[in-house]
Amino acid sequence: EDLLRMGPNSTIMEELEGQGYWWCRWCHMVQPPRAKHCKDCNCCILKEDHHCPFLNNCIGQRNYATFYGFVVFLVFLSASFVVGISLWLHFEQRHCWEQFGKCLESAPGTMLLTGAALLLDFVVSVLLLLVTAFALWHLFLIIWGRTTREVLTGRLSEYVEEGNSCCSGRGTSLIQGSAKVEFPDLKALGC
């Protein structure tokens, strides 16, 4: 029998669905609570937050902390760029602002550089505001213990433990690691 075409075992799934587990019809496997199948990555992601088109990767339980660190790094990088260019414009190019006509005639290259820096500073400032809002949104999600998908769809899992966010450890497991393993009697089976 083809294992990839097999459906779920109804007896097992009855028991597991009561605990929040589902059958993934694309991966043909049991899906833990809060896991979702990503059609872009073609796999199930534990505590999937979202699929990031910029990183071309799913953001979920295993890489959420790294993703959030990356977003915070982008905030600081953008802020340092905006502050640095603003200080350069204020201190180094001040004479061009005070004597605009004279600077334009005597050093058009400097004026072009100043204009390009001003435009770039404006664009990065707008991006800084957007990335900061994005970082604050994810901080809100971390504090509430929710994923982007859960908040935006309004479908909150009833199997979410309080304070359990994408940055926390894994939830319940299908494997009972501390249980005693009982091996079948091979002699009784005729082996």
Neighbours of 113 (CB within 10 A): 13
Residues 6 or more apart whose CB falls under 8 angstroms from that of 71 comprise: 131, 134, 135, 138
Q: Which one of the listed residues 52, 58, 96, 103 is annotated catalytic?
A: 52
Write phi, then psi, for 79 (nearest 5 degrees): -65, -45
**Residues in a beta bridge with 29:** 24
Whether 166 sits among the annotated catalytic residues: the reply is: no
Is 25 strand, coil or helix? coil
Cα angle 81-86-89, degrees, rounded to a multiple of 5: 125
Catalytic residue ranges: 52
